[in-house]
Chains A and B, each alone.
Chain A
Amino acid sequence: MTPILHIQNLHKRFGKVHAVNDLSLEVLPGQVFGILGPNGSGKTTTLGIILDVIKKKSGEYRWFGEPPSAESRKRIGAILETPVFYPYLSAVDNLKIVALIKGVDESRIEKVLETVDLHERKLDAFKTYSLGMKQRLAIASALLADPEVMILDEPTNGLDPQGIAEIRQLIIQIAEQGKTIILASHLLDEVQKVCSHFAVLKKGKLIYSGSVDEALTGTDTVEVAADDMNRLEEAVKQFTHTQSVRPEKQFLRVRLTDNRGSADLNQFLIEQGIVVSHLSQRTNSLEQQFLHILAADQSSATSGNHSFTDQKTTSHA
């Protein structure tokens, strides 16, 4: 399968700052790919480079397996940072300009404005729009050419909770139509809710790349307590699917493997004649994983590359 986007050893410097440092990435068709990282980690710079508005220092990137060109950019719908439109022009006029650039029929304008629910305000000047409406118009603009891939940079930045929910719903809706989406965000929760794959950037370096499901499986822990904690601990250690056990104040924190959950553990303990007084399963969020990734990168900065699973065991052992 030809990757939608292929980035190879990309570098960019702004003076002393190494904004993008040896970045290699691949985005495959149909993925909703999150680029995650704190502010200043090089997300927007990377997107700027692959959209040909920022000059790279070295490295390569390809869209649709081809060297980058204006023609390939026409097949991408993208917004960088804030929505960019002529403030004095209406939504329709702004989209007419985009349609002319991309060589798209003007009839698409009505359709995309309906998709993002801006139809009623389509003749009002852009400057009269709320931030949420501006963001929706940006998505409409990105959708205009019915592109194979969409790039969204912090699409929910600055929105109120309702606006955030609307935009996310819209992104999920678009992803369901089979479009590839590249989403830069510093909000983990957003990536977790929307993305299928993600990469983590820190100071311009790629420190993790993989699928969201993969990152989250095996991260569930079970809290378990019984009257006789010593006996419980021994029994739990004998359970074949136990990966690690860590005593905490009121209970044991058990990490299970092979997709086993609290029910499996409970079943086993009953067979061992132990009745538990507390049992609960905690699903880790990407946020915790993300912090682990960042922490692991920090502590072992000298040890070079490490995989996600590496640090998982080290941080929990």
Chain B
Amino acid sequence: MPRLIAIEWIKLKSYRPFWILMILYFVVLGLVLSGVMLFFEYVASRGAEFNGLDPSMIPFYDFADIWQNMTYLATFLKIFLGFIVVISITNEYSYKTIRQHVIDGLTRWELLAGKLSIILVITIVNTLFVLVLGLILGLIYSPVQGLDVMFENAGFLLAYFLDVFAFLTFALLVGMLIKRTGFAIVLLALYTLFLEPIAALILSEVYSQYTFTQYFPIRAINNLISVPFGKYVFQEVQDYIAFSDIALVAVYVGLFIFLSFRLLKARDISG
């Protein structure tokens, strides 16, 4: 496996667009995650309130709560990581290097494993970024401190890890299927942000007695971390990670990887 990562590293380390997108992503993610309190205070200063609650009173960064709040918010930006993954695979098709890799002696599985290991590394770095930022913000804002509360509910970081990893394997599949960078990015964004949510909305209206839209891939991935904010206006929210949600997403990850592998196996490898 280190050999495959080394190969991917050579490709990425001099690829400027990759670094620009990565840095942009982390800057935006950092700003969004750390700016929530400032945003709430701004909203409060304009006289807005949520169900009679002063927004600046919301304990967004309080330990224990912080992990679900942060990771929930962070998942909205994962689509940009998806674009990076799409580019990294469609480039191989447009440069025809994927074909040359096979000619040179990589197996189909090694091709896929190389990309999966890069996805894994990106996901780990991304999760660590949220972890470190969460610790810093918690130390700044949280009224309760101490090791015992700091990592309470830190399981949401693992859910976040799985969330992003699953989405990126989906992006990889889309990239392999479409092969062309522009089309693949548009399709990924369109499906993730519009097609599936709208289809789910319509279908759940039409077949309101069923809950099958819960099993759509993007929905399933997004369901890992539930919307946490309701609890601040005394609604009931799911403030834990359900095992069934994890199992479903794990099945999807397996399916995405399997389909990607089938694609590589079944098709002629061309540019």
| Interface residues, chain A, with chain B CB atoms under 8 Å away | 48, 51-55, 70-71, 73-74, 76, 78-80, 82, 84-90, 93, 96-98, 100-102
Contact = CB atoms under 8 A, between A and B. Distances in A.
A53 B104 contact: no
Contacts of B102: 51-53, 73
B10 interface: yes
Given A54-B268, A84-B97, A89 B10 contact: yes
Contacts of B99: 53, 80, 84
Given A73-B105, A74-B105, A101 B11 contact: no
B18 to A, nearest CB: 10
B95 A73 contact: no
A102 B11 contact: no
B3 interface: yes
A85 B16 contact: no
A304 to B, nearest CB: 31
Given A55-B268, A84-B99, A93 B14 contact: yes
Contacts of A84: 95-97, 99-100
Residue of A74, A82, A84, A96 with highest tally of chain B CB at under 10 A: A84
A73 B102 CA distance: 8
Given A53-B270, A87-B95, A93 B105 contact: no
A296 B95 CA distance: 41
Residue of B6, B103, B266 with highest tally of chain A CB at under 10 A: B103
**Interface size, B (range):** 20 to 34
Given A86-B15, A89-B14, 18 more contacts: A51-B103, A53-B270, A54-B269, A55-B267, A70-B105, A70-B107, A84-B95, A84-B99, A84-B100, A85-B100, A88-B15, A88-B16, A89-B11, A93-B14, A100-B6, A100-B10, A101-B104, A101-B105
Contact of A48 (B104, B267, B268): B268
B101 interface: yes
Interface string B121-157: 0000000000000000000000000000000000000
Contacts of A100: 3, 6-7, 10
B106 interface: yes
A97 B11 contact: yes
Contacts of A80: 99-100, 103
24 contacts: A48-B268, A52-B103, A53-B99, A53-B102, A53-B268, A53-B270, A54-B268, A54-B270, A55-B268, A70-B106, A73-B104, A74-B104, A76-B103, A78-B104, A79-B103, A84-B96, A89-B10, A93-B10, A97-B7, A97-B11, A100-B6, A101-B105, A101-B106, A102-B105
